[in-house]
Amino acid sequence: MYKKLLLSFSILFLIQTCSLEASKQNNKETFTAVEELFSKDQDINYGKLYAHLHYTFNDPTLLRDALHPMLSRKWRSNKQQFDRLEWLGDSVMETIIIEKLLNIFPNDPRKHIDKIRSNLVENKTLTDVFYLNLDVEKYLPYPGKVEYKVCNVLEALVGAIRRDDIVNGHLNAEKFLMRLMDS
């Protein structure tokens, strides 16, 4: 009961915070890589990145595919794979969040639940979640002057985690997402 109540308050706080931030700023979705945020190393630090994500990939290629826009040409893979992971991650996130909200608000009308879901998965909210809880640049070599949308990277990471384990992928993606959103 306490955990359910805490999660409800966390969600409502996140929605209010993000709504205030969104009203203060125009479109903060696209970012240009800032050299100081990235590692001075020339390689991806997989060990520290896995620890930071609280997930170890069976297939590191999926992680690189998910981080595609934030990587230099040396580390980039196929953009089509990134797009697919982002698409999958978006769908997985929607499903996870809808399931959680249905459990938290079992008697509320769909319209109410959908409004909360919409606020939680919008690009500005995902961008805030990324920078509050996921900033992975410090484990990546500086890619040069590239632009990327961190909300898309977050979605792609959820998709990559889902695809990485055929048996437990959905559960792993749920744990990953809930750890980020509950923070």
Measured between alpha carbons, how far is 176 from 130 in angstroms, rounded to an integer? 12
In DSSP terms, which residues pair with 31 in a beta bridge?
148
Q: Helix (H, G, I), strand (E, B), or coil: what is residue 159?
A: helix
Look up 90 and say whether it is catalytic.
yes
Nearest Cα residue to 66 out of 55, 74, 51, 78? 78
The catalytic residue among 137, 155, 164, 174 is 155
Q: Helix (H, G, I), strand (E, B), or coil: what is residue 40?
A: coil
Q: Helix (H, G, I), strand (E, B), or coil: what is residue 28?
A: coil
The catalytic residue among 86, 90, 164, 174 is 90
Measured between alpha carbons, how far is 183 from 11 in angstroms, rounded to an integer? 10
| Active site (catalytic) residues | 90, 155
